[in-house]
Amino acid sequence: MKKILVIHGPNLDLLGDRETNIYGKTSLDDINAMLKERAETNNVNLDFMQTNYEGEIVDAIGSASKKGFDAILINPAAYTHTSIAIRDAIAAVKLPAVEVHLSNVYAREEFRQTSLISPVSTGQICGFGPYSYILGLEAILSLKKT
């Protein structure tokens, strides 16, 4: 793995202020800095994007292969439970994709316990706060070793 696309979905730009009892006080910039530090120690480049718009996520996934990405690390946030378009985009590009969530979605409301993304992802990591992203990155990096 040399180049990984990191996608942060809707409302993740509000991390650190938004529902800190669920998502914690770590900002998205802090998460990106943690990821960047871990990536640099592994000689991997990360490109980050955050958007509240489903179509922008679909476009980014759809063009990932053409832009030379080797894998996708994605927190689709609320789109996890609603977006067939994001699911289909991940299935179409055939790149390893790891789905991450800050909270344990399976310990939350029933509607959050179904992911449309997981069936087409390489794996899912949730419930470890900001460390879910680091674990997701480590999972992607482990793919090149197997």
* Residues assigned a catalytic role: 23, 101
Length of the chain equals: 146
- How do strand 123-126 and strand 3-8 relate by DSSP bridges? unpaired
Give the Cα separation of 132 and 104 in Å (integer): 10
Q: Which amino acid is at 97?
A: A
Distance from CA of residue 66 to its chain's centroid?
A: 19
CA distance 137 to 71: 10
Query: Edge-to-edge strand order for the sheet containing 123-126?
Result: 45-50, 3-8, 71-75, 97-101, 123-126
